[in-house]
Structure 1
Amino acid sequence: MKSIPFSHTVRDTLSTIAGILFCGFALKSFLIPNQFFDGGVTGISLLIHELYHVNIAYVIVLANLPLIIMGAYQVNRTFALRTLAAVIGLGLCLAFINYPPVTSDKLLVSIFGGVFMGIGVGLAIRGGCALDGIEVLALYTNRRISFTISEIILGINIIIFLIAAIELGLPTALYSILTYYTASKTISFVIEGLEEYTGVTIISGESQPIKEKLVMELGRGITIYKGERGFLKNSFDISQDCDIVFTVVTRLEVRRLRNMVHAIDPKAFIFTSTIKEAAGGVLKRRVREH
């Protein structure tokens, strides 16, 4: 196996450290002073801290340890070791850095607590580790029962917020759900970025001029699948060979691509799919023209 370039190691380490600091800030300046919660293992740790007054720095490390060990078998040992280091770093951050409370306004706490928590978790994921082991548990459980990973995580979080509602009141639980939602959206933004990529598939009888426009005008790389079109209800036995064109654009370019294709063939069939991560090939990192 090829060794990871040193520059990548430095980048991942700095990303993880920044993630730890953001998570520590979210917890000590927003969530903990106002008895708010998040989802996952972090939510469980906050709940234990509030109910039993155990130091959050210890709880968050101990709660993640079984899942980190599980991660060594479910994912790989490198991921588990990185996650262990990150979680211990978060524990040290919570124990020794005195972040001052920022606000007691519940709406501000729920929104910005979630934003900073999401930034922290997202940066840690970009660094190749996790600050919350709930997805490892979901992955482990997914292989033994028929539920999806998302359904398992949702079920665990419902239990956390129900306990919070019973023990600390419904308003606190509802605001905490808003915190979790905000954090989830922020994590997606940090990981995927503003220019989330979209896969576009085009089926048309005018594929040749469409291919030329995509490459020469949009500057995109294309992949061609050989297919057949036709098979209509009233003429099922009639079909024609066609080129199915696939390309990847940023979501900011989808409308321009649609307009360009429909100007060539108004009957062209176009469908899109979200791509979580794309690298290599002919990809523009920024859109410079619309």
Structure 2
Amino acid sequence: MSVEQQQQISIEAVTKHHKLTAAQILRRIIFITVGAALFSVGLEIFLVPNNIIDGGIVGISIILAHVTNVPLGIFLFFLNVPFLFMGYKQIGKTFAISTLYGVTIMSVCTALLHSVPPITIDPLLAAVFGGIILGIGVGMVIRFGGSLDGTEIVAIVFNKRLPFSVGETVMFFNIFILGSAGFFFGWDHAMYSLIAYFIAFKMIDITLEGFDESKFVWIISDNFREIGETILQRLGRGVTYLNGEGGFTGDDKKVIFCIITRLEEAKLKALVDEHDPSAFLAIGNIHDVKGGRFKKKDIH
């Protein structure tokens, strides 16, 4: 699942969310504050001093600040706010307020950090570590119901009017912005910007899902009972047997469904291969798991 899909799901969840408790509001404020502050550190301490940009509204803000010498924080705030009003009805009050708060913290922290000297002047190191810090910051804000860039909001608002998905719209917009960096900072820095963007993209995934992310598994085998019992005994994971029918043969089939962690994937493949090397096996990522008997645990 892509980051844009995850953020869209996060937005939809927030719009359907019931009234938050005081503890939930405080937790959200703390994590959005920390996430926005980390994002600002990635920008002002690593990327901006080395003429490396990010995608979306942030990238446009960096370019405009470079051309006009106006403080970056001003562009970050005033370019993002209109998109919040544009998508207010579609994204909901809670998400809009969370995003406005995150953008405000990001803008203020960026202004405060502007005079702080960069940690490195090596553009490759800046792209790598700046991308890591940016990704963690954005991931924290998304995870707690906000956003730091109006690009996704625009894509969601116009999703029903355009023949493109949210992810495709955001990707096209970001490619255009990152490509523009070549005209203002040189093509070497445009390529460093792509490196930083890719690293940030992956770090958002890790922040949202964790290193120990969950995966779903479908197994079709005539030895379903032996495989299911082995998964129960040796992995300690519950399994569900579903009834299926072969599309070509019309034969009745039993389908094993279970949830595992990424660390258990290799072991599960070995267990299935041990009982039926020709078994059909499909594994996919899951954004979140709740309920039932599934609990993440260490592998011994």
TM-score normalised by the chain length of structure 2: 0.88
Q: Which residue of 2 aligns with 1:144?
A: 161
Indicate yes or no: 2:283 matched with 1:283.
no
Whether the aligned pair in 2 keeps the contact of 1:123 and 1:190 (CA below 8 Å) is yes
Q: State which structure, 1 or 2, has the greater radius of gyration over its C-alpha atoms.
A: 1
Q: What secondary structure does 2:95 align onto?
A: helix
1:133 pairs with 142, 150, 155, which one?
150
Whether the aligned pair in 2 keeps the contact of 1:72 and 1:78 (CA below 8 Å) is no
Q: Bigger shift: 18-27 or 154-163?
A: 154-163
Indicate yes or no: 2:278 matched with 1:262.
no
Q: Which residue of 2 aligns with 1:193?
A: 210
The change in CA–CA distance for 1:251 and 1:260 in structure 2 (over 3 A counts) is same
Q: How does 1:205-284 map to 2 (within 5 A)?
A: 205-229=222-246, 231=248, 236=249, 239-284=250-295
1:63 pairs with 79, 83, 98, which one?
79
Q: Which residue of 2 aligns with 1:12?
A: 28
Alignment: residue pair count: 283
1:27 and 1:199 mapped to 2: Cα distance? 36
1:163 and 1:152 mapped to 2: Cα distance? 17
Whether the aligned pair in 1 keeps the contact of 2:263 and 2:299 (CA below 8 Å) is no
1:43 and 1:192 mapped to 2: Cα distance? 26
Whether the aligned pair in 2 keeps the contact of 1:214 and 1:220 (CA below 8 Å) is yes
Q: CA deviation at 1:5?
A: 4.4
Identity %: 35
Q: CA deviation at 1:199?
A: 0.9
What code does the residue aligned with 2:42 have? A
1:164 and 1:21 mapped to 2: Cα distance? 24
- Listed as ranges, the gaps of 5+ residues in structure 2 are 1-16
The change in CA–CA distance for 1:159 and 1:3 in structure 2 (over 3 A counts) is closer
1:229 and 1:165 mapped to 2: Cα distance? 54
The change in CA–CA distance for 1:2 and 1:61 in structure 2 (over 3 A counts) is closer
Q: CA deviation at 1:3?
A: 4.2
- Listed as ranges, the gaps of 5+ residues in structure 1 are none
2:180 and 2:131 mapped to 1: Cα distance? 20
What code does the residue aligned with 2:72 have? I
Whether the aligned pair in 2 keeps the contact of 1:42 and 1:132 (CA below 8 Å) is yes
1:230 and 1:135 mapped to 2: Cα distance? 39
Whether the aligned pair in 2 keeps the contact of 1:24 and 1:90 (CA below 8 Å) is yes
Q: Which residue of 2 aligns with 1:182?
A: 199
TM-score normalised by the chain length of structure 1: 0.91
Whether the aligned pair in 2 keeps the contact of 1:228 and 1:242 (CA below 8 Å) is yes
Q: Once superposed, what is the RMSD of the aligned Cα atoms?
A: 1.9
